[in-house]
Structures are given as structure tokens and as C-alpha cells.
Amino acid sequence: GERSRKINLALTNAVNTMATIAGTGVPPAVIFWSLVEFRRYGEVSRESEKILNDIENFGLDLVQALQRAANRSPSPLFSELLWKMIATIRTGGNLKEYLYLEGNRLMEIERMKTEAAIETIGLIAEAYVTALVVGPVFVIIMTTIMGIMGTPMSQVNLINNLVVYFGLPIGYALFIIAVDQVAPKR
């Protein structure tokens, strides 16, 4: 849903911040405290606040709080991050290194999504020029030639009016909707 989308949008930057904070050698709980303090990560900051709440108010240890957060998170990406953090903490792994690699992986995913969206928008732009710039000019030229060749002017005017007053506005609206659907949401 909407919360999952918001978490996913903020996750890449949040993970990179987490890696930087982990690099200072602070305990893992401080990483989540920092995300709450920064507040710039929206839903990720709110999820971090819930993790700290579980630790401070319900007496859970960090791993238990992360498990609860992973189970309740609407974002599969955030849940996966938390489960891998749990595994890293339990095995005594390098949390900074894991978060750094995860941040790079998430940035690569975002880059690929952006490139795909740009490519699709490029195709839409080509279709736009063909259908709504060249197409109407071609139709008007053809109907004018048809009028010269003997087609009644009432039919020529009808076709031109349909193209200009109905075809173009509908076409513009469809292209706006198409671009809105493929453009990355922020």
C-alpha cells in the first residue's frame, strides 16, 4: 500500500545513513535512534521509532524488536533488510559492511527502475510526436487534397473538426495519463 511505497522510497537513503552511523562503531540500537532523530526518512523513521519503543517500553532486546518490526512492516524490502540485519547481528558479522552493500544494492535497483522509466517515457514521446504532431498535420493535408479532388467540403470540415476538437484533446489526455503511469513516483 501507500506506507510500503513511502518506506521503499526512503529506504535507500536511510540505509546509506545507517551504514555511515554503523561505521562509527555505535551499538545497533543507536542507528535506529539516529533515524528517529533525523526524521527526514518519513515512514522509515516511524518504523525505527516503533523498534525503539519495543526496546524501551516493552523490554525486548534489539533482535526481538527487529523481528517484530520485520513481521509487521508493510514493505517487503524493509522486512528483508531487518531479517538480514538480525542474521548479521546474531552471527557477529560486520553490520557496517552489510549496510554499505545493501545501500549499494538498493541504489542499483533504483537506477535500473529510473532507466526503465526513462526508456518508456522516450517511447511515449516518440509516439506523441507521431500521433499528435505529425498525424493531425497529415490528416489535414489529406482531407484538403480530398476536398480539391471533389469530396464535399462538409465532409472535409467534419473530419478536420473531429481531429482538431476531439482527437487532439483526447490524445493529449491519454498521453498525460501514460506518462503519469510510468514516471517514477516521489
DSSP annotation of 184: P
User: pLDDT tens digits for 30-52?
Assistant: 999 999 998 899 999 999 999 99
Assign 133 to helix, strand or coil: helix
First and final CA of the chain: distance in angstroms?
14
pLDDT averaged over the chain? 94
Residue 153 CA to residue 167 CA, distance in Å, equals 19
User: pLDDT tens digits for 104-115?
Assistant: 999 999 999 999
Query: What is the residue-wise DSSP string for 94-112?
Result: -HHHHHHHHHHHHHHHHHH
pLDDT of 1 reads: 86
Residue 100 CA to residue 104 CA, distance in Å, equals 6
pLDDT of 186 reads: 66
Query: Residue 58 corresponds to which amino acid?
Result: F
Assign 22 to helix, strand or coil: helix
Task: Give the three cell numbers for residue 160.
Answer: 478536420
Residue 1 CA to residue 42 CA, distance in Å, equals 15
Query: Residue 115 corresponds to which amino acid?
Result: E
Task: Give the three cell numbers for residue 32.
Answer: 535506529
Query: What is the residue-wise DSSP string for 35-47?
Result: HHHH-TTTHHHHH
Residue 134 CA to residue 132 CA, distance in Å, equals 6
The backbone torsions φ and ψ at residue 135, rounded to the nearest 5 degrees and listed phi first, read -55, -55
Q: Please state the rounded mean pLDDT for residues 155-180.
A: 94
Residue 152 CA to residue 146 CA, distance in Å, equals 9
